[in-house]
Amino acid sequence: MTTLQETNATPTPATGDGSPEWRSVRLEVLDQVEDLPSFNSVVLEFMEVTRQEFFSAKDFEAVICKDQGLVARLLKVANCGLYGRSRTIGSIPEAIVLIGLDNLKRIVYAVSSQGLMTRQMTHYGYHEDQGFWMHAMAVGQAAKILADACPDSGVHGEEIFISGLLHDIGKLVLDGFLGQRPHKQVSCEMERSAVGLDHCELAGHILKQWNIPASITAPIAFHHDFAAGGEYLKSAAVLSLARGVCSEWGVGYQSPLDLSWEVPHDKFAAEMVQIGLTADRWPGVVWNIQQSLAGLEDLFANT
C-alpha cells in the first residue's frame, strides 16, 4: 500500500514571487508561530539531558521530578496495564526498574506532546484528532531504530527521535492558512504556493523559538529532500526513511493501525546507501520498527 499524504510530487506552480500580498501572508504565518504553545520547560530540559552521551536513570529522575504533574501522568500510564505489571508502580525509580528507561522516555514524550499535537486538522489527511500525534511519535521511534541500527552513520538516536517527533510541527500553523476546503494530500510545493514557505522551513522558525539545537532542527528542514541536507545529509536521510516507512503503513492516517503491509526497500535505496543500511538487513530493521509501533495505539488510549 502506498499512501501519498506526504508526497513531494504534486506539480503545483510556485508563486513565491515576492509580491506584497504574498509577503504579507508569509509574515502572518510567522506571526502565528509566536502563538503556538511550547513544550513545558521541564520537557525541554529533559530533551537536553537525553541528548547527552552518558544519560542515566538518575538524570532522568532529577529532571522529571521537577514537574509533579508530569510525574503523576507518567505513573498513571506506567500503571495502566500496558506493561503487564502485577504490582503498582509508585515512583519514577520503580518505574525505571519495572518498565525500563526506554519505555518511560517514550511515555514522557507521548504525554508531553499530547496537548500540542492532539488536534483535528482541516488539511493533510490525518486520522481524527490523534492522527498527527501518532504520526509524530511513530516517525520518532522509527528514526531512532534506524539510527541505532546504523551506528557508522554517526546519527544520534535520541536526537533523531526528537527530530522525528517534531518533524511536521510546521503543519500545526500552516493548517490555518490553507483555506477552508479540506485537502488530504498537501505537498511542500502547495504550501509554498499558498503562503510562501513550507512546513519544513516553518518548523525551523518554531524550534528556534524553543531554543532547540541545530542538530535536531537541521534534519527536519530537509526531511522531504534529504539529498540537500549538506552536513546533515545522514540524519536527514534517516528522517526521510523513517517518515517514508511510516507513510507506507499509513501511520496516523488511518485507524486501526495496520503494520502488516510489506515495505519494499528499493523505494528507499538512496537513503539506505547514505546511512549504510544494506538490503539483507532491511527485513530485520523493519521488524524492529513494527514491534516498536505495535503498542502505540494502546499507549495513546491510556495517555
| C-beta closer to Fe ion: residue 63 or 162 | 162
Query: By beta-carbon distance, which residue lies closest to Fe ion?
Result: 168
Cell numbers linked to 31:
506571526
* Residues near 265 by beta carbon (within 8 Å), at least 6 away in sequence: 272, 279, 282
Provide the minimum distance between the beta carbon of 15 and Fe ion in the complex, in angstroms, as a whole number: 21
Provide the minimum distance between the beta carbon of 31 and Fe ion in the complex, in angstroms, as a whole number: 22
CA distance 3 to 254: 10
Q: For residue 192, state whether it binds Fe ion (rule: CB under 5 A).
A: no
Task: With CA atoms as reference, report the closest residue to 126 among 69, 187, 198, 185.
Answer: 185
- Binding-site size, Fe ion (CB under 5 A): 2
Provide the minimum distance between the beta carbon of 5 and Fe ion in the complex, in angstroms, as a whole number: 8
Stretch that binds Fe ion, among 105-113, 117-125, 202-210, 236-244 (CB under 5 A): 236-244
| C-beta closer to Fe ion: residue 125 or 196 | 125
Cell numbers linked to 80:
495502566
* Residues near 285 by beta carbon (within 8 Å), at least 6 away in sequence: 145, 146, 149, 277
Stretch that binds Fe ion, among 28-36, 123-131, 237-245, 287-295 (CB under 5 A): 237-245
Stretch that binds Fe ion, among 68-76, 105-113, 165-173, 203-211 (CB under 5 A): 165-173
CA distance 5 to 131: 12
Q: Which amino acid is at 28?
A: E
Provide the minimum distance between the beta carbon of 132 and Fe ion in the complex, in angstroms, as a whole number: 9
CA distance 14 to 193: 5
| C-beta closer to Fe ion: residue 99 or 188 | 188
CA distance 244 to 241: 5
3-state DSSP helix/strand/coil % of the chain, to nearest 5 = 65, 0, 35
Among 105, 127, 243, 265, binds Fe ion (CB under 5 A): 243
Q: Which amino acid is at 97?
A: V
Among 67, 168, 189, 248, binds Fe ion (CB under 5 A): 168
Provide the minimum distance between the beta carbon of 95 and Fe ion in the complex, in angstroms, as a whole number: 30
Stretch that binds Fe ion, among 25-33, 164-172, 227-235, 287-295 (CB under 5 A): 164-172
Provide the minimum distance between the beta carbon of 176 and Fe ion in the complex, in angstroms, as a whole number: 17
Binding site for Fe ion (CB under 5 A): 168, 243
